[in-house]
Amino acid sequence: MDIKHRIGMKDCELLIFANDDLTFHVSLCSTVNPLGRGNLLDRFDDERQAIEAAERFQWMYALAKEHGYYLKQDRFTKPNRQEIHISVMKDGTMTKEQYRLQLQA
């Protein structure tokens, strides 16, 4: 697995790995353990799609944290709120405002 792209965040890093099977994995990696491969968020057939999804995940993660959510496996979670699956990062049509409204619902 080769790292093709990195997106630094406050307490972690998003990594896009190229795999032998010609897929691209987006993983969330702790900066505390930089040698680990992190938590796999999703797989993509196209590198550009993987990068775009990682960029969306970056702002979605930041907004979720702003609104009191935390990442638990593959969902943004907050007590007494509906969980939001991270697959929303694949939806390139969702705006920050639409996502913010979903977090507040």
Position 69 confidence tier, pLDDT thresholds 50, 70, 90: very high
Contacts of 15 (CB under 8 A, 6+ apart): 3, 5, 6, 26, 27, 29, 37, 38
Contact at 8 Å (CB) between 94 and 43? no
Contact at 8 Å (CB) between 27 and 38? yes
Encode pLDDT of 1-41 as tens digits: 788 999 999 888 999 999 989 999 999 988 776 566 678 89
The answer for 54, left when phi > 0, alpha when psi is -120 to 50, beta otherwise, is: alpha
Domain count along the chain: 1
Predicted structure pTM score:
0.86
Residue numbers of the domain that contains 75: 2-104
Position 92 confidence tier, pLDDT thresholds 50, 70, 90: confident
pLDDT of residue 93: 82
The DSSP 8-state label assigned to residue 10 in this structure reads S
User: Can you name the residues that pair with 43 across neighbouring β-strands?
Assistant: 25
pLDDT of residue 35: 60
User: Can you name the residues that pair with 72 across neighbouring β-strands?
Assistant: 75
The answer to whether residue 49 scores a pLDDT higher than 70 is: yes
Spell out the SS3 assignment of 83-104.
Answer: CEEHHHHHCCCCCHHHHHHHHH
